[in-house]
Amino acid sequence: MNTEIILQTLKNTFGLDARSKVLVVGLGVTGLSVAHYLDQLSLPYAIVDSRIKPALMAEFIEQHPEVPVFTGGFDADAFNVATHLIVSPGVALDEPAILAALARGAKSLSDIDLFSRSVTAPIVAITGSNGKSTVTTMVGDMAKVAGKKVGVGGNLGVPALDLITDDAELYVLELSSFQLERTTQLYAAAATVLNISADHLDRHASVVDYANQKQIVFNGTGVMVLNVDDPMVDAMRQQGLGRSILTFGLNYKADFYIAKVQGGDYLMYQDQRLMPVADLPLEGSHNVANALAALALGVAMHLDMASMCKALREFKGLAHRMQKVAVIKEVAWINDSKATNIGACVAALQGYTHPLVLIAGGDAKGADMLDLVPAIKAKVKSVILMGKDAALIERALNGCVPTYSAANMQQAVKIAAGIALTGDSVLLSPACASIDQFRDYKDRGEQFTRAVLALSNAGKDKPVKNAHGKVSA
């Protein structure tokens, strides 16, 4: 990292220098990455967190014993002297202490702003309600197979600031609406909003407001990749006035689409046949759309087509995203714990043609569960509900399919095992956040996997390799 050039850029862009009083708000993964970044530049800062004991507190103090840390609330004195606020995505920008500091003249910036002004390699930026992590990983794999030195992260895995290296040729970032709403300096070479569905309405005023935050990803020039099957996304072409456009879609012919050729379905780029859909290793039509989006982004970055198709054929998928964990008595058990909103659950359901037993529920985050009903009526034979908003979902379903209640994941799996018949699939696709009962969606998926593998006949059935190539059963 060329610190002299970066420091000059930060001063010119944000008025940020050694005399500034930087307050990092939130000591989570992002906050820790910001701290490491500021240390490398020898810029002074303090940390504030509303929690009494943040999870990363001990690690931070061990690494940075000299940095002031304020916990147990948003200390007014810390905000009163701050010239710059770097607010983590997990902290709402309408916190009174933050609003008061901004009103006094403090400047707000994000870790993505800092990242964007610190790198010279092109950035691929990926957002949307669903599929972000899968598409980000696909594009990263494509770049690696094509021989590029690539950094992959952001909202997925490694925080953006921890990716910065002098030899990177490309960065591929997954970005959430919370990251984008506080970002002004992102000018990605290629960007996409994959889809829009109701999500995070506990933090965003409406779906329209949520979509407006998403389309910040199209600031600047370059290529915008649009999903023509999603009307809200397709309408964003009017906002990306400085960008050329590539499109993808399952239901309409686009630049990247699906066509039936000689009896088989193929991924297509304009009139070029790329590869059979059957060669994709992932289940569900939504993952076909993800592959099309990844190809469009790769073409925007001039990646070799043969390398991209090779990466898709070898793609292992991601843990907790349509991950097949076992096949027991000819019933497939699928972990889609990452489906933390209605759109993700609906996308998963629509990819199936055979009977499903669905395990759903958790914290609905203010979403209208009536939006789940059409897909459940069309695809699901029984629903097992658990978590904080189970009753909300049950009321929305209003008896359209049989429902069962479970107190915990172990009970949900046992109920599902008693319902599912040969040829069925049991799908954990909660349509809700996990924080009411679990540490996070990963913990929820891991508890599902353990419960499935504990079923009495699991050891007698064919093992299934998980997303990391390890035997799951």
Distance of CA 440 to the CA centre of its chain: 13
Phi, psi of 400 (to 5 degrees): -70, -25
Task: With CA atoms as reference, report the closest residue to 421 among 305, 329, 322.
Answer: 329
pLDDT (0 to 100) of residue 457: 52
pLDDT (0 to 100) of residue 473: 26
Written as tens digits, the pLDDT of the chain (473 aa) is 789 999 999 999 999 999 999 999 999 999 999 999 999 999 999 999 999 999 889 999 998 899 999 999 998 999 999 999 999 998 989 899 999 999 999 999 999 999 999 999 999 999 998 889 999 999 999 999 999 999 999 998 899 999 999 999 999 999 998 999 999 999 999 999 999 875 545 555 578 888 888 999 999 999 999 999 999 999 998 776 689 999 999 988 899 999 998 889 999 999 999 999 999 988 778 889 999 999 999 999 999 999 999 999 999 877 788 888 888 999 999 999 989 989 889 988 987 888 899 999 999 988 889 999 999 999 999 999 999 999 999 999 999 999 999 999 999 999 999 999 999 999 999 999 998 899 899 999 999 999 999 985 554 444 443 333 332 22
CATH topology of domain 114-313: UDP-N-acetylmuramoyl-L-alanine:D-glutamate ligase (3.40.1190)
Burial of 262 per CB tally in 10 Å (0-12, 13-18, 19+):
exposed
Judge whether 16-109 and 114-313 match in fold. Answer: no
Which residues have a Cβ under 8 Å from the Cβ of 34 and sit 6 or more positions away?
24, 45, 86, 88, 111, 114, 161
Which residues have a Cβ under 8 Å from the Cβ of 109 and sit 6 or more positions away?
14, 16, 84, 85, 86, 182, 184, 185
- What tokens were used for 243? 């960008």
For tokens 């002098």, what's the residue?
166
Give residue limits of the domains in the chain: 16-109, 114-313, 323-454
- Reported pTM: 0.80
Give the separation between CA 399 and CA 191, rounded to whole angstroms.
42
For helices 305-313 and 132-145, the axis angle rounded to 10 degrees is 120
pLDDT (0 to 100) of residue 205: 52
- Catalytic residue annotation: 132, 155, 200
What b/e sequence results for 458-469 when a residue is b if at least 16 CB atoms lie within 10 Å of its CB, and e otherwise? Answer: beeeeebebbee
Given 3.90.230.10, 3.40.50.10070, 3.40.47.10, 3.90.190.20, which CATH number is that of 323-454?
3.90.190.20
pLDDT (0 to 100) of residue 197: 78
Architecture of domain 16-109: 3-Layer(aba) Sandwich (3.40)
Give the separation between CA 283 and CA 287, rounded to whole angstroms.
7
Pairing label, strands 323-328, 331-335: antiparallel
